[in-house]
A and B are shown apart, each in its own frame.
Chain A
């Protein structure tokens, strides 16, 4: 039990470092900034209580915010994601065995369902993030473009990481 918690904390730190040191420096056409750390939040085991899930999301978002100099931006979007994730898991996840612990993945959800599940949450995260970044809806064109392109790129990364995880 303690071993698995320590492992999760290690993965938590790894996602933050990858996000802050590598992904935040990526720049494609001035519009794409992938946020892979969302994957950590949406693949936490289903037996975690919803309140702890929200707190984990808030903590992760806030740490990334502190590194990126954008206090509140990622925290807001992450809390939204961790609030919505359990609701979406009921819609996209396997129907049977509600009491068994499930970790969302290609295997447990089947590939198509997992991609849809991740896509909805990634779009929720990116859309809210870019609305906050622009501060209003008056640049809705840029917001939608950034959301679309960044979501595409984040999803590509998520598929790569999940494929790697399922092969292991």
Chain B
């Protein structure tokens, strides 16, 4: 027994080294398994505060760029408003207009604007931290977009902060389709370039062309249908059944400043119903 103790004391440096490396490995493996858990990630309140402060400083450097992009968006919105007003005036003459108006008022989606206070793009497992959390109405599994397109999905929330799993994380998988075609596939990211993602599961008989826009499919309750994700950049046959499609992502992950979190009012109802149906089918 004494000899054993002496052995441990003699090699204490090595055993401490081993113990610390094992603790690190446990953390690494746990992190991979429970990426969604808020454990040790930056939605933690203290970290959030520090990032928020540093972001307040960084923000000044991007003011000009942000203003420009806001002005641009403004113009686009004005253009849309004008088109819609014209359409509305035309429709007002239509007798069935009243009925349609009620449908339009039924707002399915509302948006929560949030500021990006920390984002990584040069890692394999990238994350984005937002300055809004549970108290602002953000919940897990909500979609996140900016003015260019889809950014990602909220993965964990604390009271004042939330962490987003962006498209550029290998764990991300977003249901998508080529605009105006009905076949849906999945947008995934393989970790090389923060501007390029892949669209999988599109069969060869779908007429896809380079330059086509890829949009959300609307099949999940996370994103409404038709939100831009990217443009087809490289297109070739992967095997006898499917295309290999590289898409250029539209949301610029290096320059994120403000994003919109999508609150789908009926998400829980839809999920609950689907769950019930599934259970019923299993019986």
The residues of A with any CB-CB pair to B shorter than 8 Å are 21, 24, 26-27, 30-33, 50-51, 54-55, 57-58, 61, 65-73, 75-76, 79-80, 83, 132-135, 139, 142
Closest B residue, CB atoms, query A33: B122
Contact of A72 among B31, B41, B44, B193 (CB under 8 A): B31
Which residues does chain B contribute within 8 Å of A50, judged by CB atoms? 13
> Can you list 19 residue pairs at the A/B interface with Cβ under 8 Å?
A27-B121, A33-B122, A33-B123, A58-B24, A66-B42, A68-B42, A69-B125, A69-B127, A71-B27, A72-B23, A75-B23, A75-B24, A75-B27, A76-B24, A79-B20, A79-B24, A80-B21, A133-B123, A134-B124
Q: Which residue of A lies closest to B190 (CB)?
A: A139
Bound: A61/B121 CA distance, A: 20
Which residue of A is nearest B121, CB measured?
A: A27
Chain A residues whose CB sits within 8 angstroms of the CB of B193 once the complex forms: 30
Instruction: Kindly identify which residue among B17, B29, B120, B122 contacts A79, using a CB–CB cutoff of 8 Å.
Output: B17
Does more than half of chain A's interface fall in helix, strand or loop, or is it mixed?
A: helix
A27 to B40, CA, bound (A): 24
Chain A residues whose CB sits within 8 angstroms of the CB of B88 once the complex forms: none
B54 at the interface (CB under 8 A from A): yes
B254 at the A/B interface (Cβ < 8 Å)? yes
User: Which of B20, B41, B47, B254 is in CB contact (< 8 Å) with A54?
Assistant: B20
Which one of A33, A72, A80 lies within 8 Å of B27 (CB-CB)? Answer: A72
Min CB distance B12 to A, Å, is: 6
Compute how far the CA of A127 lies from the CA of B28 in the bound complex, rounded to whole angstroms. 16
Contact A21 B41 (CB under 8 A): no
Which residue numbers of B lie inside 8 Å of A, CB to CB? 12-13, 16-17, 20-21, 23-32, 39-42, 44, 47, 50, 54, 120-125, 127, 163, 191-194, 254
A-B interface pairs (CB < 8 A), number: 94
Whether B12 contacts A72 by the Cβ 8 Å rule is no
A54 and B18 CA atoms in complex are apart in Å by 10
Query: What's the least CB distance linking B172 to chain A, in Å?
Result: 15
Q: A96 → chain B, closest Cβ, in Å? A: 24
In contact, A71 and B30 (Cβ under 8 angstroms): yes
- Once the chains are docked, how many angstroms separate the CA of A52 from the CA of B12? 11
Report the separation of the CA atoms of residues A65 and B28 in the bound assembly, to the nearest whole angstrom: 10
Q: How far is the CB of B57 from chain A (nearest CB, A)?
A: 9
Write out the residue numbers on chain A whose beta carbons fall within 8 Å of the beta carbon of B44.
66
Q: Judging by beta carbons under 8 Å apart, are B42 and A69 in contact?
A: yes
Closest CB in chain A relative to B120 CB, distance in Å: 7
CA distance A135 to B32 in the complex (A): 10
Which B residues touch A61, using CB under 8 A? 24
Cβ A132 vs Cβ B28 within 8 A: yes
Q: Is the Cβ of A58 less than 8 Å from the Cβ of B31?
A: no
Chain B residues, Cβ within 8 Å of A69:
40-42, 120, 125, 127, 163
Contacts of B29 in A (CB 8 A): 72
B-chain residues with CB within 8 Å of residue A27 when the two chains form the complex: 121-122, 254
CA distance A21 to B125 in the complex (A): 18
Q: How far is the CA of A3 from the CA of B120 in the complex (A)?
A: 37
Cα A15 to Cα B163 in complex, Å, equals 25
Complex Cα distance, B44 from A58, in Å, reads: 20
Q: When the two chains form the complex, which single residue of A26, A57, A65, A80 contacts B40, counting CB atoms closer than 8 Å?
A: A65
Please indicate the chain A residues that have their CB under 8 angstroms from the CB of B17 in the complex. Answer: 54, 79, 83
Closest to A59 in B: B20
B25/A70 in contact, CB under 8 A: no
The answer on a CB contact under 8 Å between A21 and B54 is yes
Question: Is B20's CB under 8 angstroms from A70's CB?
Answer: no
Question: Are A70 and B122 in contact (CB-based, < 8 A)?
Answer: no
Most B CB within 10 A of own CB, among A26, A66, A134, A142: A66
- B192-A142 in contact (CB<8A): yes
- Docked Cα-Cα span, A142 to B46, in Å, equals 34
Q: Which residues of B contact A54 (CB under 8 A)?
A: 13, 16-17, 20
> Chain B residues near A83 (CB, 8 Å)?
13, 17
**Cβ–Cβ < 8 Å partners of A55 in chain B:** 16, 20
- In the complex formed, the residue of A with least CB distance to B40 is A71
Q: Which residues of A contact B30 (CB under 8 A)?
A: 71-72
Cross-chain contact B122 with A71 (CB below 8 angstroms): no
Task: Give the shortest distance, in Å, between A82 (CB) and chain B (any CB).
Answer: 8
Report the separation of the CA atoms of residues A51 and B11 in the bound assembly, to the nearest whole angstrom. 11
